[in-house]
Amino acid sequence: MVTIKEVSELAGVSQATVSRVMNNSDKVTDKTRAAVEHAMQQLGYRPNSIAQSLASNRSNSVGVLVSELIGPFYGPMMAGIEHELRQAHKHVIIAAGHSSEADELESIEFLISRRCDALILHVEAVSDEYLINLCRGSLPVILLNRHIEEIADHCISLNNKIGGYLATYELILQGHRKIACITGPMWKIDAKDRFVGYQQALNEAGIPVQQDLVVEGDFNELSGNVGMGKLLQQHPDLTAVFCSNDQMASGAIDQLRQQGRSIPEQVSIIGYDDATFAYYLYPKLSTVHYPVKDMGEMAAHWVLSKVYQLKIRSLKLVFEPYLVLRDSIATQS
Amino acid sequence: MVTIKEVSELAGVSQATVSRVMNNSDKVTDKTRAAVEHAMQQLGYRPNSIAQSLASNRSNSVGVLVSELIGPFYGPMMAGIEHELRQAHKHVIIAAGHSSEADELESIEFLISRRCDALILHVEAVSDEYLINLCRGSLPVILLNRHIEEIADHCISLNNKIGGYLATYELILQGHRKIACITGPMWKIDAKDRFVGYQQALNEAGIPVQQDLVVEGDFNELSGNVGMGKLLQQHPDLTAVFCSNDQMASGAIDQLRQQGRSIPEQVSIIGYDDATFAYYLYPKLSTVHYPVKDMGEMAAHWVLSKVYQLKIRSLKLVFEPYLVLRDSIATQS
DNA sequence: CAGAGATCTGCATAAGTATGAATCCTTGTC
DNA sequence: GACAAGGATTCATACTTATGCAGATCTCTG
């Protein structure tokens, strides 16, 4: 590998000058710059970024930890992050946490030991306390899809209340009154917020919230299927269901179809997340779009601005979801 | 940050000894080892992996380039790679190429300049020549999902002929005789091979291959939709279709439904890839499973064995797909 | 107990770049 | 032509760890 030294010798300057040419930090004459650049060309010089990192105490790499690499979330998120960071010539080092606390902690250690300049975390299992502590440290950390009040300025999250509200409001708007809800696991703040939005929309429309129109799922498909079964048993006359994510919506659709109910003619369905497969469901699922990619981009922007001093137009920390209307909702008269 | 020096001072040994304790390369007395480890504990020492890399000329990182981060493919692939490499404490640096030659080339440069110990590439746009050259260099490179004869031992690929064969064979087995095919773009070797498998299965069954039962698509949904339209126009009596990927299968299903054909009762469909959404289609799509995750794992194994001298049981370079039968195929009598 | 041999430890240097301090050179002024 | 001012360049050192070689210590044998 050709080093800065060889370049300097060929160009007839010192190593320091070559370094300065690369970082165009200090003033360099056009003439010497040209000479150096020519020498670099000629030798096919590539700076050794490891050595750069050691000397500058900057690794130029950002660690990204996601709870799961598989699933509809990770792709768009990573795409957003990678795209933005790369333009700034920063490296993305990834790690997966597999939704287990031990794994997530280990992954964070792993990334720290790699001397990442910043961390973008999409974690589930790790405790608030740990994260608060982490953020208080010297290593810049941004949390994706998680909101912790004490370190709110380190959190990029989605306003799930609005999402739940929008979904329910749309159903109301289409004339539905008997609107069921299959929630996510209520210990998850996301699930809770979405449910809050649901209640709020009903309240505003003067429709009482009936406890037995609400079933708690676990964000997996099967629970949507089972939940739908329960709901139909108790309320055969319901006309619409808000599912707290698309997986459960898919399960619910299966159950409805099994019972011979047509969608959306007899029962309207709305999901949440706008996962890739939502489009492929039949009928194509109307849902609440979760702007994961935008949020990934924003996390990258945050890092670029806080860590690498790039000027960023604006930093938005709380995102708002929006409706994606497809074919799973019908007007109820 | 606490360095090896501080550790050595606290432990009362030299830096070299501390280094040896970490790498347990040379013999170290249990006593001194204990002293050193105690000191490390006490100071909360974390080795600086940047410095390690510089000194050892090993970055312990593997560059992974994928053409697209979004899409059903890369999640499982990345998961497979990350999982295996992490167990060996290697870092994964990712880059996306966006299916453009310039971007892919730049990404490769980018990863090389990061001094990756090896590269795992999933590229589309870059030429064979370039890759052959790259593989001839000193940096270990493995190609995922691409087969180039000259460097076959650097390629992990899927036997697409078998896949096409299996899919078609299954349709024949279910009694179908009038089997159409929506291929991918024929300049892609994958698409071609899948089609070859289709032809072979028909030949073996003594069914003539009819050119007007074959339509060329572009792997996107719309082309499946359009292609299906054409096929139905010319052959209203066809009973089965082999689609060269799941996206096109989805498009074909839409078209069939639009024309009031029931699936699988009137027309059977089989896809290819087993993308996540295949399960969510209606009817749940029977398809050919593409073992992306396994292939990602194998790429990681390859790297671990070639670059880091880990012992790996076996290296498999050509994978075989298998059928996943769900609800989109019916028996034809 | 001497001495050979084996085992362990320390010294010194190397890896490639960044950067503050010091020096050199250029330019302009009188 | 001398000198100052300021810009361009170089010098020297730092960043942190790995490792060949030499030296130190220990173990065992005769």
CA–CA distance, B18 with B20 (Å, rounded to integer): 5
What fold characterizes domain B57-158?
Answer: Rossmann fold (3.40.50)
**Residue B68: its pLDDT value, please?**
84
pLDDT, tens digit (0-9, with 9 covering 90-100), for A49-59 = 999 999 999 99
Q: Where in chain A is the domain with CATH 3.40.50.2300?
A: 58-158, 160-289
Residue A239 backbone phi and psi in degrees, to 5: -120, -10
Out of A48, A92, A277, name the one closest to residue B280 (CB): A277
Interchain pair B71, A75: CB under 8 A:
yes
Q: How far is the CA of B15 from the C1' of C13 (A)?
A: 13
pLDDT, averaged across chain A: 94
pLDDT, tens digit (0-9, with 9 covering 90-100), for B203-222 = 999 999 999 999 999 999 99
Out of B53, B69, B276, name the one closest to residue A78 (CB): B69
Q: Of chain A residues 58-117, which have a CB less than 8 A from chain B? A: 59, 61, 68-72, 74-76, 78-79, 82-83, 86, 89, 91-96, 110, 112-115
User: Is the CA virtual torsion A227, A229, A233, A235 positive or negative?
Assistant: positive
**Does the CB of B20 fall within 7 Å of any strand D atom?**
yes
Residue-wise over A109-144: b if at least 16 C-beta within 10 A, else e?
Answer: ebbbbbbbbbbbbbbbebeeeebeebbeeebbbbbb
Residue A148 tokens read as 């912790």
Contact B93/B116 with Cβ under 8 angstroms?
yes
Average pLDDT over residues A128-142: 95
What fold characterizes domain A58-158?
Answer: Rossmann fold (3.40.50)
**Residue B190: its pLDDT value, please?**
93
- What residue ranges of chain B have pLDDT lower than 50? none
Query: DSSP string spanning B52-74?
Result: HHHHHT---EEEEEES-SSSTTH
**Residue B59: its pLDDT value, please?**
92
pLDDT band at A114 (very low <50, low <70, confident <90, very high): confident
pLDDT, tens digit (0-9, with 9 covering 90-100), for A218-271 = 999 999 999 999 999 999 999 999 999 999 999 999 999 999 999 999 999 999
Helix axes B15-23, B4-11, angle to 10 degrees: 100
Q: Where in chain B is the domain with CATH 3.40.50.2300?
A: 57-158, 160-289
Pick the CATH number of B160-289 from 3.90.1150.10, 3.40.50.2300, 3.40.50.10140, 3.40.50.450: 3.40.50.2300
Q: Which nucleotides of C are covered by protein (CB under 7 A)?
A: 7-12, 14-20
Residue in the block written with tokens 């981009």: A297
Size (chain A), residues: 333
pLDDT band at A74 (very low <50, low <70, confident <90, very high): confident
Q: Which residue's C-alpha is at the least distance from the C1' of C13?
A: B55
pLDDT, tens digit (0-9, with 9 covering 90-100), for A169-207 = 999 999 999 999 999 999 999 999 999 999 999 999 999
**Residue A28: its pLDDT value, please?**
85
Residue A44 tokens read as 């096919």
Q: Considering all nucleic acid strands, name the nucleotide whose C1' atom is nearest to the C-alpha of residue B8.
A: C10
Q: Which residue's C-alpha is at the least distance from the C1' of C10?
A: B14
B48 and chain A in contact, CB less than 8 A? yes
**Residue B109: its pLDDT value, please?**
87
**Residue B51: its pLDDT value, please?**
94
**Residue A313: its pLDDT value, please?**
79
The CATH code belonging to domain B4-47 is 1.10.260.40
**Does the CB of A13 fall within 7 Å of any strand D atom?**
yes
pLDDT, tens digit (0-9, with 9 covering 90-100), for A279-329 = 999 999 999 999 999 999 999 999 999 999 888 878 899 999 999 999 999
